[in-house]
Structure 1
Amino acid sequence: MVAFKRKPVMGSGGHTNPLVWLAAIICTIFAIAVIVTGIMMFIGYIMIHPRVPTISVTNAHLDLLRNDYAGLLQTQLSIVVTAYNGNAKAHAKFSKMTFSLSFQGQGIAVLVADSFDVPKNSSNVLRYVVQSSSIPLTPDQMEKVGESWKRNEIGFDFKGAGRTRWKVGPFGSVKYSCHLNCYLKFRPLNGSYIPSKCSSKSK
């Protein structure tokens, strides 16, 4: 087997071609820039001691709950979602916020929000009023609604997701995805919200 060895490109007089030196210098500068940027981002991250921004359901109310013998359900809910930025040294940006509300597996509404900023160590409140059209219920669902009236407790599934981002130092930013998966419970006799922990988890 014949082995071939590639010799470096040589210029006149047996010296390395200047283009090779130039390419080596550019690669070295690029590598140093990447390392410095990484170090600066790490230092910025340590200095800020960032807390992951969160979204939570902080209040709600069951404005209307009406069902008839034909198996149709009408409802209206007011839901307050709070976006909180616990970072004392960095603004946070929330984007692509989408929430879904359902009852017994049947969708009621999809809620969205435009991108918005939350200042350092502050919060922003999103207020939604969700009114459903008549929802056809199965006999099993009708029975569960009847039981809910008797127990004076009814629940709705509330799920959502969004993205958060905040700057770390002058060169970079940290990004997370927030995911919300809650079961909102109410007293149908007066519409009051039964408080429960409903905060996002980040990935």
Structure 2
Amino acid sequence: MSKDCGNHGLDNEAKLRRICGGIVFLVVILGFTVLLVWAILRPTKPRFILQDVTVFAFNVSSPNLLTTNFQITAAARNPNSKIGIYYDRLHVYATYRNQQITLRTAIPPTYQGHKEDDVWSPFVYGTSVPIAPYNAVALSDEQSRGFVMLTVRADGRVRWKVGTFITGRYHIHVRCPAYINLWNKAAGTAVGDNAVKYTLVTKCSVNV
């Protein structure tokens, strides 16, 4: 009796090993297939262009407080012919010399099909935001020269869709330089009483 029980234990252990081996084999095959399809399709990260910035407010007050209110227009293009892009989360904000000067504005989640374009025009703003003393000095210098160098940023997460397969989430970081003549309204187009729209058409760097 004890001998039979021992054989049954060995048989169960062998079956368990075969099952585990089969699962591992299927996972390896599935992973290899996904990588092969991925390599063949060669997914390309989306392309962003900062089309314009409308300035409603850009005021510096003492001591080193900055109040801003912008509306930016950014265009995103999916260059892939066989891959779709899910923008699950995307927040837009502005920085000055790597210091965030506005709150983050959320872009509604969206799906971008093959070779499709999307255009977003969110508002970004900050009220009495303290800026570093050295940035205040740089901003004063730029004011005297008439131009200010801002960066419009977008951070979030995206997923790729290949057929019915959808990948996990990837971080996306977009950086758009905005070189604006804020102190010369004639360089832009008046919008209403106080706002000025500056056309830029600037290519953005995108990292995924």
Shorter-chain TM band: 0.7 to 0.9
Measured after TM superposition, the shift of residue 87 of structure 1 is 1.6
**2:178, 2:200 within 8 Å by CA — same for their partners in 1?**
yes
Listed as ranges, the gaps of 5+ residues in structure 2 are 189-197
Say yes or no: does 1:129 pair with 2:130: no
Q: Tell me which amino acid in the other structure corresponds to 1:160.
A: A
Within 5 A, what are the aligned runs for 1:1-203?
A: 11=4, 17-66=10-59, 74-103=67-96, 105=99, 107-133=101-127, 147-168=141-162, 170=164, 173=167, 175-188=169-182, 189-190=184-185, 191=188, 192-202=198-208
Measured after TM superposition, the shift of residue 30 of structure 1 is 0.4
Count matched residues: 194
Q: Tell me which amino acid in the other structure corresponds to 2:105.
A: L
For 1:138 and 1:15, the matched residues in 2 are separated by 74
Measured after TM superposition, the shift of residue 92 of structure 1 is 0.9
CA RMSD across the alignment: 3.6
Measured after TM superposition, the shift of residue 62 of structure 1 is 2.7
In the other structure, the counterpart of 2:191 is: none
Name the % identity.
20
- Structure 2 vs 1, CA of residues 18 and 115 (structure 1 numbering), >3 Å: closer, same or farther? same
State the secondary structure of the residue aligned to 1:120: coil
Measured after TM superposition, the shift of residue 111 of structure 1 is 1.6
For 1:13 and 1:111, the matched residues in 2 are separated by 66
Flag the structure with larger Rg. Answer: 1
More off after superposition, 153-162 vs 23-32:
153-162
Measured after TM superposition, the shift of residue 161 of structure 1 is 1.2
Deviations 1:18-49 (A, max 9, x none): 31232122112202211221232123213422
**2:88, 2:158 within 8 Å by CA — same for their partners in 1?**
yes
In the other structure, the counterpart of 2:194 is: none
Measured after TM superposition, the shift of residue 93 of structure 1 is 0.5
Deviations 1:77-132 (A, max 9, x none): 22112333222112211122123324464623222223211111112222113344
Question: TM-score when scaled to structure 1?
Answer: 0.72
State the secondary structure of the residue aligned to 2:83: coil
State the secondary structure of the residue aligned to 2:20: helix
For 1:13 and 1:110, the matched residues in 2 are separated by 66
More off after superposition, 155-164 vs 27-36:
155-164
